[in-house]
Amino acid sequence: MNVQTDLSILTLIAESSHIVKIVIVILLALSFWSWLRIGMKILQLRRAARESTQFEDEFWRGGDLNAIYQSLGAARIGDGMKHIFVSGFREYTKHRKQGSSSAVSVDATRRAMRVAFQRELDTLDAGLPGLATIGSVSPYIGLFGTVWGIMNSFRGLASVSQATLANVAPGIAEALIATAIGLFAAIPAVIAYNRFTHDVDRLSTRYETFIEEFANILQRQTV
C-alpha cells in the first residue's frame, strides 16, 4: 500500500512539535519587527537627507543668519541640520547679548551644536542595534529549532522496527523549516543594518562639516 506523506510547508509546521512551533513564532515576530523597522528607517533617513540638502541650499545662498533663524522657528530633535543650526545660533545670540567675547561666544556655540548633533545622531541610530541583534541571533534560534526537530525524529525511530527515509524525512523537513525562517529573518536585517549604518555615517559627516563651517563663519564675523 503506497501512502504519500504530505510534505507541504503548512502541514509540516502544523504537525511540528510545540518547541519548533514556538521557535517559528518567535522568528516570524522578529522578522515582522525587522521589516517594520526597515520601512520606518528608510523613510527617516530619506527625510533627513532631503531636509539637510534643502537647508544647505538655503543657508549657502548667503542670506542673513538671523532671518534664517527666525524662519526656522523652534526646530526640534529629529529636524537634523535645522536643529543643529537653531541650537547653535540661539546660544550664540544669548552670549552676544550678555557681552561675552567672540571666542567665548563661538566656543559656546560649538558646544551647543555638538550637543544637538549627538541628539540627532542618537535619533538616527535608534533601532539599528535591534536589527543587528536580529541578524546575529535569528540563525541560532532557527538552528535550535532544527536540532530539536531532528532529535525528535531520531527518537521516533526507536519505536520503528525498520528505519527508512520515509520515516525520517518528515521530521527532518519540519526541523529545517526553522533554519530557513531564521535565515529569512536574519538576512534582510543584516543587509539593512549595513546600509543604514553607511547612510547614518554619511549624514553624521555632513552634520559635523556644517558645525565647523558655521563656527568658522561666526568667528570671522566677530573678529
> 186-219 pLDDT, tens per residue?
999 999 999 999 999 999 999 999 999 998 888 8
Is residue 156 a contact partner of residue 114, using CB atoms and an 8 Å limit? no
Q: Average pLDDT over the chain, rounded to whole?
A: 84
Helices (H), 126-164: 128-156
Of 66 and 77, more confident: 66
Distance CA 121, CA 140 (A): 31
pLDDT in tens, 74-120: 777 777 899 999 999 888 888 888 877 778 888 999 999 999 999 99
pLDDT at 48 over 60: yes
Mean predicted confidence (pLDDT) in 138-161: 78
Coil vs helix vs strand at 169: helix
pLDDT for residue 49? 92
- Does this model's pTM top 0.75? My answer is yes
